[in-house]
Amino acid sequence: MTFYTISYLNNHQHMNQLFNYIAIITFIILIALMALMYFRHRLITRYRDLGIIFFLLLMLFIGFQITDMEKTSTQQSQTTQMIPFIKAVARDHNVSPQKVVVNSTTLTDGILVRIEDRDYRVNLSTTGDNYTLTRAHVVNHQVNLMK
């Protein structure tokens, strides 16, 4: 079972999208190069065809990037709800927020909260403005802690 600390939630809100940026820049350079080669040698149409292929790949990677940005925005807004929740649980149990870990990066009903080796199940209200912790017992005690 994987649990996340508050420092992990603070530091890993943004996904690394370096590969998509590098691919987009590479395809832009290749399109420019193919356009230059096509204008230089107008009778050789393979440069035009390669340019069209690179342009389509560029559009594909731009679509991937937009999808990733939308997913990251949604995930970031859900993660920002989790940080005040962890702080509230720590305040209610008189422990530091670093001793509270959760098994999800988003605040939903039924997640597990571990406070100093005790596990609790979170029951959220329908509005999400209050919660109840119920003592829970996990089957698998092996924990992967993401710091």
Q: Model confidence over 24-60: pLDDT tens digits?
A: 999 999 999 999 999 998 888 899 999 999 999 999 9
27 close to 61: Cβ distance less than 8 angstroms: yes
DSSP 27-45: HHHHHHHHHHHHHH-TT-T
Asked if the model's pLDDT at residue 14 lies above 60, the reply is no
Task: Identify residue 39 by its one-letter amino acid code.
Answer: F
pLDDT at residue 69, as a whole number: 80
Kindly report, residue by residue over 50-98, the tens digit of the pLDDT: 999 999 999 999 998 888 888 877 777 777 788 899 999 999 999 999 9
Exposure on the CB side of residue 20, measured as CA atoms within 13 A: 14
Q: Tell me if 35 sits within 8 A of 27, measured CB to CB.
A: no
pLDDT of residue 95: 95
Q: Tell me the pLDDT tens digit for each residue of 3-12.
A: 988 888 777 6
What residues contact residue 63 under an 8 Å CB cut-off, 6+ apart?
Answer: none
Burial class (CB in 10 A: 0-12, 13-18, 19+), 133: middle
Is it the case that residue 102 has pLDDT exceeding 70? Answer: yes
